[in-house]
A and B are shown apart, each in its own frame.
Chain A
Amino acid sequence: MLLALAAVPVLIAVAIRLTDDGQGGGGGPAFLDRITQNGLFVGVTALVVAIPLFLPLTVGVVAGDSVAGEAGTGTLRYLLVSPVGRIRLLVVKFAAAAVFCLAATLTVSVAGILIGLALFPVGPVALVSGDTVSVGESLLRSLLIALYITLGLLGLAAIGLFISTLTDAPVGAMAATVVVSIVAQVVGQLSQLEWLHPWLFTYHWLDFADLLRQPIEWSSFGANAVLQLAYVAVFGALAYGRFATKDILS
């Protein structure tokens, strides 16, 4: 799965490299036309591309599989009688999902930077504010962005964990989690539901650009963290309630 994620920046970079006519055309995702000027942008561009679908997809698969997958292979009952406490199992599963979120974003980011280094020139990076920072600081900011996106995916991971406790069919839980993330993004596009937008866990996903401003705008980082923690608390609690009272019949 991480390999598939790593393929995203590679595909972007190779496609740009092959079609590069010296003048980056407009359109396409943000930063796309800057790749030819600076390979370090491949990582950011790949994240922009991966955020709406690829990252939620893989996180949905991992989180949806977490408990339902164990139930599906029949190992859940053995873990529980080992004995692993149910709360501990949930915490461990959520931690694993969180680690995956980080690994997934870092994979996209690092693969993007590496392929960018290989195919395009590299130099000091222009921020969206128009200021220019050194390569070293840009790498630091890339890491911050990866952390930001990881944080943004935690809410989805908690939702996936909760859904995963509802069923013994891992595929169903994965699909439901991915659907939830897509629905949240669609709702986020509907201006009729604008009052709802700040409450969606996808609301801050694209605000990672605030880390590319000069100076860094930390407020979205904080707001994102608070929102995601609220989601983790709510769905973590629901997952606990469901899992602690669930009869393990698989």
Chain B
Amino acid sequence: MTDPAAQAARTDPAGGADPAAAQPAPTSDSAAFAIRTTDLTKRFGRSTVVDGIDLAVPRGSVFGFLGPNGSGKTTTIRMLLGLASASAGEVRVLEREMPANLARVLPAVGALIEGPGFYPFLSGRANLHRLDSADGFASASTRQARVERALERVGLSSAAGKKVRAYSLGMKQRLGIANALLTPRELIVLDEPTNGLDPQGTREVRTLIRSLAAEGTTVFVSSHLLSEIEQMCSHVAVMRAGRLVAQGALDDLRGAGRTHLRLTVATPDAPTAVATLSRLGVPPAPLGESHPASHPADRPAVRPANDSAIGPAIDPAADAAESTALEGELPETVPAETVVAALVADGVRVRGFAVERASLEDLFVELTGEGFDVVQ
């Protein structure tokens, strides 16, 4: 299943994955999916927030659900959990049709949805007791022990007696995760679990998720931060503007990124360098898209030199001529040293030169767009 998905990500970065390509064969191994959606769509009035997505979350995976703010992640999660109804499409969670089997499915699902929600005037422990007693399937006799264990797992035991309004954001977040862990779950859905956590807390959450996965629980984590997903997930799906633009095992997606060799050249002689690079057949790369000024025809893209790749190495004040960073995508057939030699031969003053394997972040940015604009 991963190959077509990765391919979809490559071929159709903006328009969403072709359903046929992104979908594994539905009949053969559908039992292996903790979450499965078909053409899931949510419209609010005229705007389509989630647009025909086909999620496939394998059982036992740690599934990263990635996308910028406003890309429809939380809405999707709400539909998965039956909080919002789908405008179209189907949802299956733990192999059951979803809005119909809420009562049977949800006891096996723990969730943290868009931040924690607790009664501020109750203690953390009392809040967990209340939520646990709301779950008709949770046995009352083991409640005490389960609550304490959940609190311990998130490191809140000592603060459990305090009223929630005295909690910091991070503590509330932990309490929210504790709530998701109250009973043994088959699937845990965590929406932005590390929001508001300090680096220490983030690491703990990561460890927690790994240990959950080790127990065989499927973990579905949403985040807008790739670095988090990259460190703990086995599978990833990427949302952009309500569409699923990539989905698959993390390694496969990385593999898809392997074809990207990013070439960065810092030089004051930009025009000459552009000519040289073009002659060498360095293919166009859309990596510099964030600069609207750069004309699409200007390939490779041109951008100021204060870029992290080469910036620290060169002091622009040392030379009268300002350096410009050129970026290009290097085909694997062209050795890097050939490029350097050609540039030098053409009299280009090369002040910086780097060839990097494109990281998942590049892929992410490529798929989701860059910058702060919330895409609607």
A19 contacts partner chain B, Cβ-Cβ < 8 Å: no
Shortest CB–CB separation between residue A95 and chain B, in angstroms?
Answer: 14
Q: Tell me which residues across on chain B come within 8 A of A84, comparing CB atoms.
A: 134-136
Q: Is the CB of A75 within 8 A of B119?
A: yes
Shortest CB–CB separation between residue A91 and chain B, in angstroms?
Answer: 13
A82 contacts partner chain B, Cβ-Cβ < 8 Å: yes
What 1/0 flags go to A211-246 for Cβ under 8 Å of B? Answer: 000000000000000000000000000000000010
Q: Is the CB of A248 within 8 A of B117?
A: no
Residues in B78-137 with C-beta less than 8 Å from chain A: 78, 81-85, 102-103, 106-107, 109, 111, 113-120, 131-132, 134-136
Q: Is the CB of B116 within 8 A of A79?
A: no
Q: Number of A residues whose C-beta is below 8 Å from B?
A: 17
Q: Tell me which residues across on chain A come within 8 A of B136, comparing CB atoms.
A: 83-84
- Bound Cα distance from A196 to B109, whole angstroms: 51
Q: Tell me which residues across on chain B come within 8 A of A82, comparing CB atoms.
A: 106, 131-132, 134-135
- Bound Cα distance from A77 to B106, whole angstroms: 12
Shortest CB–CB separation between residue B220 and chain A, in angstroms?
Answer: 13
Q: In this complex, what residue of B is CB-closest to A92?
A: B134
Q: In this complex, what residue of A is CB-closest to B110?
A: A81
- Bound Cα distance from A73 to B109, whole angstroms: 22
- Bound Cα distance from A245 to B82, whole angstroms: 11
What band does the interface of chain B fall in when counting residues whose beta carbon is under 8 Å from A? Answer: 20 to 34
Interface centre among A79, A85, A247 (most CB of B within 10 A): A247
B2 contacts partner chain A, Cβ-Cβ < 8 Å: no
Q: Tell me which residues across on chain B come within 8 A of A83, comparing CB atoms.
A: 82, 102-103, 106-107, 135-136
B222 contacts partner chain A, Cβ-Cβ < 8 Å: no
Answer whether A81 and B106 are a contact pair too, CB < 8 Å, given A248-B78, A249-B84.
Answer: yes
A80 contacts partner chain B, Cβ-Cβ < 8 Å: yes
Q: Is the CB of B83 within 8 A of A74?
A: no
Shortest CB–CB separation between residue A249 and chain B, in angstroms?
Answer: 7
Q: Is the CB of A73 within 8 A of B117?
A: yes
- Bound Cα distance from A73 to B103, whole angstroms: 23
What 1/0 flags go to A74-117 for Cβ under 8 Å of B? Answer: 11111111111100000000000000000000000000000000
Q: In this complex, what residue of A is CB-closest to B138?
A: A82
B179 contacts partner chain A, Cβ-Cβ < 8 Å: yes
Q: Tell me which residues across on chain B come within 8 A of A245, comparing CB atoms.
A: 85
Q: Is the CB of B113 within 8 A of A78?
A: yes
Answer whether A247 and B78 are a contact pair too, CB < 8 Å, given A79-B134, A81-B109, A83-B135.
Answer: yes
Interface centre among A77, A79, A82, A85 (most CB of B within 10 A): A82
Q: Tell me which residues across on chain A come within 8 A of B120, comparing CB atoms.
A: 73
Q: Is the CB of A78 within 8 A of B131?
A: yes
Answer whether A80 and B83 are a contact pair too, CB < 8 Å, given A73-B120, A85-B103.
Answer: yes
Shortest CB–CB separation between residue A213 and chain B, in angstroms?
Answer: 45
Q: Is the CB of B117 within 8 A of A76?
A: yes
Residues in A190-221 with C-beta less than 8 Å from chain B: none
Shortest CB–CB separation between residue A77 and chain B, in angstroms?
Answer: 5
Q: Is the CB of A248 within 8 A of B83?
A: yes
Tell which of A78, A80, A248 touches B179, judged by Cβ atoms closer than 8 Å. A78
- Bound Cα distance from A247 to B85, whole angstroms: 6
Q: Is the CB of A77 within 8 A of B117?
A: yes
- Bound Cα distance from A249 to B134, whole angstroms: 20
- Bound Cα distance from A73 to B176, whole angstroms: 13
Answer whether A75 and B109 are a contact pair too, CB < 8 Å, given A82-B134, A83-B103.
Answer: no
Q: Is the CB of B81 within 8 A of A81?
A: yes
- Bound Cα distance from A23 to B85, whole angstroms: 67
- Bound Cα distance from A247 to B87, whole angstroms: 11
- B interface vs A, CB < 8 Å? 78, 81-85, 102-103, 106-107, 109, 111, 113-120, 131-132, 134-136, 179
Query: Which 3 A/B pairs are nearest by Cβ-Cβ distance?
Result: A74-B117, A83-B106, A247-B84
- A interface vs B, CB < 8 Å? 73-85, 245, 247-249
Q: List 6 A-B contacts (CB under 8 A).
A: A82-B131, A83-B103, A83-B106, A83-B107, A84-B136, A248-B84
